[in-house]
Amino acid sequence: MTREEEKGLKGDYGETLATAYRTLVAIGEATEAERFTNIKWAHLSGVNYNTIGDGGVTFLDRFSRYTQVKVKTTINPMGYDRTQPNKLSENFITKQTNIVNSFKRLGAMPSFTCIPYEMFSVPRRSRVSFAESNAAIFSNSVLDLLTNKESALSALASAVTGKAPYSDLRKKELRRAKLSIKPSFSPKSELDWGLLGYFAGNVNNDDSCINFESIPQPDLRRAKSLAAAMGTSGSCGMFTINDGEDTKVIDYEPSDANSKMDELGTSEDGDVIVLGSPQLGINELSYLTGLLEGRRFRKPCMIFTSRVVHREASRIGIVDKLAKTGCAFVCDSCSCLTPLISRKETDSIITNSIKAAYYLNHYNNVAVCLKDLKTITKDYS
């Protein structure tokens, strides 16, 4: 450790910063890091009250009163859209507001997004600390950033110290797969790619990087689906495409995809269409607008996105076009663990997102009808 890092660990800069350094030292020891490395960007999870509870609220309130972030720091979605009327409890709103205030006090940007890589300038080939799983996997795999798949606490510690353990996927020589998944067919839709990612996360045993063999490079929409599904079902933090020399190979058959569909697709239909896990960016909103041209959804459709993306989509006319098709935007939130989707009012939903399907099934107790976006627009408009 450098002299500055040692002083931070000893508490010379305060107990809060010492707690952050102790967290990073413990992680460094567990991952066999030889030293710390500087990071340029931290992205924090643990923003939704439903994910951290009262203990997290109290911790963040105390932690944020004695330190500030040292690098660019963005944050994940919260549990609801503060600009819209809702039927949420006063307790949820109060606790969610306290969390937001804590992150603002720390100096974090109120981005409320799980797709920071689509909203902010990306420092190429830089070491970062991303806690959001889809963001970590996408950034490692597509953008050539270097981050481990961080927890809410480790990313927070990196944000206030500007440091992270130099281990695992932050070391270029370790960003090689030991395992390859080889599909016997080419995935087409974003749902196909999501099912492939979910399968890969399930079968991967602690390897940080996994390769997909004999498939084309995915575009942005499909890469997001792949990354989000991988992050949902496993610990892997990166994927490569057709770069699996000397790897163990696992075949992926149509029966494997069907098995995952049976696991996550728990309903034949739904009451509400839910899009945006990860949140939709301009690329996907434009694609959806094209699919719906001249059509209107016959069922309510909730689109989860960030305030920044919504503002840009509004500027170029996408919001007005989608509003005419029956879509309603929910900003700064996500379909995962939101109290806006509840079994009290919704028996089942329709989505193209593997991540949304997993969390809505397991935590919101809402059944899920899984279909790709083209099929959704065809069947329900």
26 with 145, same domain: the answer is yes
The pLDDT value given to residue 255: 98
- Dihedral sign (CA 257, 263, 264, 267): positive
Structure confidence by residue, pLDDT tens digits, 217-272? 999 999 999 999 999 999 999 999 999 999 999 999 999 999 999 999 999 999 99
CA 314/CA 321 separation, integer angstroms:
9
Structure confidence by residue, pLDDT tens digits, 169-180? 999 989 999 999
357 with 279, same domain: the answer is yes
Give residue 251's domain range. Answer: 176-262
Is the pLDDT at 300 greater than 80? The verdict is yes
Could you say which DSSP state residue 344 is in? T
Residue 129 vs residues 147, 157, 324: alpha-carbon distances, Å = 5, 10, 40
Tokens coding 70:
């040292």
SS3 294: coil
The pLDDT value given to residue 145: 97
Binned at pLDDT 50, 70 and 90, residue 63 comes out as very high
146 with 184, same domain: the answer is no
122 with 15, same domain: the answer is yes
Could you say which DSSP state residue 84 is in? S
Scored b (16 or more CB within 10 A) or e, 243-266 reads ebeebeebebeeebbeebbeebbe
CA 5/CA 2 separation, integer angstroms:
5
CA 155/CA 286 separation, integer angstroms:
32
Residue 272, C-beta contacts closer than 8 angstroms, at least 6 positions apart? 299, 300, 301, 302, 341, 346, 349, 350
Inter-residue contact 252 to 199 (CB < 8 Å): yes
361 with 273, same domain: the answer is yes
Structure confidence by residue, pLDDT tens digits, 189-220? 999 999 999 999 999 977 899 999 999 999 99
Measure the N-to-C terminal CA separation of the chain; round to a whole number of Å: 60
Nearest to 112 by CA among 330, 339, 331: 331
Q: Please give the angle made by the CA atoms of 273, 337 and 269, to the nearest 5 degrees.
A: 25
Work out the mean pLDDT of the chain and round it to a whole number: 96
13 with 120, same domain: the answer is yes
The beta strand positions in 17-165, using DSSP E, are 36-38, 41-44, 72-75, 129-130, 163-165
Is the pLDDT at 31 greater than 80? The verdict is yes
Structure confidence by residue, pLDDT tens digits, 324-373? 999 999 999 999 999 999 998 999 999 999 999 999 999 999 999 999 99
- The identity of residue 76, as a single letter, is N
User: Given 148, 172, 196, which residue is the final one in a domain?
Assistant: 172
CA dihedral 81, 85, 90, 93 (to 10 degrees): 10
The pLDDT value given to residue 200: 97
130 with 81, same domain: the answer is yes
Residue 341, C-beta contacts closer than 8 angstroms, at least 6 positions apart? 272, 274, 302, 335, 349, 360, 364, 366
Could you say which DSSP state residue 279 is in? P
Is the pLDDT at 124 greater than 90? The verdict is no
Residue 19's domain is classified under what CATH number?
A: 3.30.499
The pLDDT value given to residue 66: 96
Q: Which residue shows structure tokens 């990306």?
A: 122
15 with 147, same domain: the answer is yes
Considering its fold, how many domains does the chain have in total?
A: 3
210 with 301, same domain: the answer is no
Residue 352's domain is classified under what CATH number?
A: 3.30.499.10
The pLDDT value given to residue 125: 87
pTM above 0.75, yes or no: yes
144 with 18, same domain: the answer is yes
Nearest to 27 by CA among 126, 152, 145, 135: 152
Tokens coding 55:
């203990």
124 with 57, same domain: the answer is yes
Inter-residue contact 256 to 264 (CB < 8 Å): no
CA 359/CA 43 separation, integer angstroms:
21
Largest CA-CA distance found in the chain, in angstroms, rounded: 65
User: Given 227, 262, 297, which residue is the final one in a domain?
Assistant: 262
235 with 143, same domain: the answer is no
Residue 249, C-beta contacts closer than 8 angstroms, at least 6 positions apart? 179, 180, 181, 182, 213
User: Given 230, 262, 294, which residue is the final one in a domain?
Assistant: 262
Structure confidence by residue, pLDDT tens digits, 94-106? 999 999 999 999 9
Q: Which string of DSSP letters, residue by residue, matches 118-147? A: HHS---TT-B-EE-SHHHHHHHHHTS--B-
Is the pLDDT at 50 greater than 80? The verdict is yes
